[in-house]
Amino acid sequence: MYFSIHKETYYRLKPKPIDKNNVIMFLMVGYLVLENGQVFEGERIGFNKDAIFEVVFNTSMSGYIEVLTDPSYVGQAVVFTYPLIGNYGVMKADGESNNVWVEGVFVNELANFSSNFRKEISLNEFLVENKIPGLQGINTRMLTKLLRESGVMKGKITADISNIAKIVEEIKNYKPKDPVSLVSTKQVKQIGNGKYKIALLDFGVKQNIVQSIIKHDATVYLFPSTSLAKDMLAIKPDGIVLSNGPGDPKDNHIAIQTIKDLYNCNIPILGICLGHQLLALATGADTKKLKYGHRGPNHPVKCYRHNRVYMTSQNHGYYIDEQTIDKDKVDITYLNVNDKTIEGLSYKNKNIETVQFHPEACAGPHDTAFIFDEFFKLLGK
């Protein structure tokens, strides 16, 4: 972030000088303080404000627009592991929602120049426009290794580290409140005008999930996360989709009860990410928090039905505990190759399939887009 500066402010903030076109300008110094007291120094980018959040990392090489606008990131700040971010600018039509949901951005280097025939604004301008703070020039490799070894931590971006103990206490007391309610639709919405009626329980759905459904000659009815089963069934849907979303799945008590009721309605159901976890909770299984989550487009998943490995796009911090599922009622269909966590379930004697990854994969590989095809085949059964 470039700015002119008063002499007294200069001595107080000690910004870093840079030479740009033979004119001395300054980048304001900023800090990321973690809940363990560790501090990372960088240069301010985006909007100049303090913020507290959960710090997670994403291994994407591209797709930063989709990441920033993914509702599943509400309450979190993203560390991009790829060293250069922002080189193709921002095309707002590529967003997964109409808002930016991340609370902060950390990069090794923010591109000074972006080039793309579709580009509208730079990434930094996009962050400023949406009031998202960030840092560049921090050691993202060290930070990512720390999160892998110690687990996901909360943190704060700030310009003032004169009282680390107070900041750490503030960070530890932070907890996002009901993140699903922030990102879910507030009223029933109809999208598309196709042959099939799909009732989608919205916990923070990505737009490309909606578009992937509409492409199959369907009309999507978005329902708020607190909707009751009777309200969803009133439209007489041909199929039901449980969307992705943020936070701890166990916090969604109303949704879990709704899904219990939907489980017995004999209508085909597809669960994605959070929807996958909630359906497991509704049928008696348990979920646990991953040490540092799965976030990126390069997660290998073994499909038992096809006897092959697919690359998948993922964004979640919780998983289904395999020891708690009833294998008389459910089959494991997909397994994570890296850490052996459950990535997909099929419910016996039910037209119900759930996956932990994102078959719409924006951004990411489209290896598993066939899951939507398989879901629509169930509608005729």
Active site residues: 273, 358, 360
Residue 313 corresponds to which tokens in the numbers above? 């796009």
Contacts of 302 (CB under 8 A, 6+ apart): 308, 309, 334, 335, 336, 337, 343
State the Cα–Cα distance between residues 42 and 263, nearest whole angstrom. Answer: 49
Residue 262 corresponds to which tokens in the numbers above? 């939907």
Backbone angles phi and psi of 202, in degrees to 5: -90, 110
Backbone angles phi and psi of 201, in degrees to 5: -85, 110
What is the Cα 277 distance to its own chain's centre?
A: 15
Q: Report yes or no: 33 and 168 within 8 Å, Cβ to Cβ.
A: yes
Residue with the two structure tokens 């990321």: 32
State the Cα–Cα distance between residues 198 and 89, nearest whole angstrom. Answer: 35
Q: Report yes or no: 50 and 350 within 8 Å, Cβ to Cβ.
A: no
Backbone angles phi and psi of 76, in degrees to 5: -125, 150
Q: How far is CA 80 from CA 63, 91, 121, 205, in A?
A: 11, 19, 20, 22
Sign, Cα dihedral of 315, 245, 248, 182:
positive
- The DSSP annotation for 28-63 comes to -EEEEEETTS-EEEEEEEES---EEEEEEEE--SS-
